[in-house]
Amino acid sequence: MGQILAIDYGKARCGIAATDDMQIIASGLDTVDTKLILEFLKKYFSIHNVEEIVVGLPVDLKGNISEVETDILKFIEEFEKEFPDIPVHRFDERFTSRMASFFISQSGKNKKQRQEKGLIDKVSATIILQNFLEQRTT
């Protein structure tokens, strides 16, 4: 068994989370500049066995897709060309940034740390991945 990687894709940064090799626990991994995401993934995949990825689907409360979706679709197209054997799943990322901010605020981090956007992106990716794992087991 290999890892599942989740990406909270954004125009400036991408939050990254990964499971353990048994695909039980989701953990925040890193925040990567969006321009460098494919380079990061190439390096990560050369070291770790990743079976599949999950990319957040940016939907608002009314069910409308966010405009960043255009960029996400371009990324997925590039990803599938580069890694044709790794399946890509989409998962609704509604509320993940708010949930991430809440969890960070409850963790005892100071105000400056809580407002760090990279940390929010990484925690958001972790929430996306954990929710994806939970949905698979039900």
Q: Which residues contact 62 (CB under 8 A, 6 or more apart)?
A: none
Calculate mean pLDDT across residues 66-77.
93
Task: Grade residue 49 by pLDDT with cuts at 50, 70 and 90.
Answer: very high
Share of the chain above pLDDT 90, in %: 60
SS (H, E, C) 100-113: HHHHHHHCCCCHHH
Q: Is the pLDDT higher at 56 or at 64?
A: 56
pLDDT tens, 90-130? 988 765 655 555 555 555 555 555 455 666 788 889 989 99
The CATH class given to the 3-137 domain equals: alpha beta
pLDDT digits (tens, 9 = 90+) for 124-137: 899 899 989 988 87
DSSP element (H, E) containing 120? helix 117-137
pTM value is: 0.84
Enumerate the domain spans of the chain: 3-137
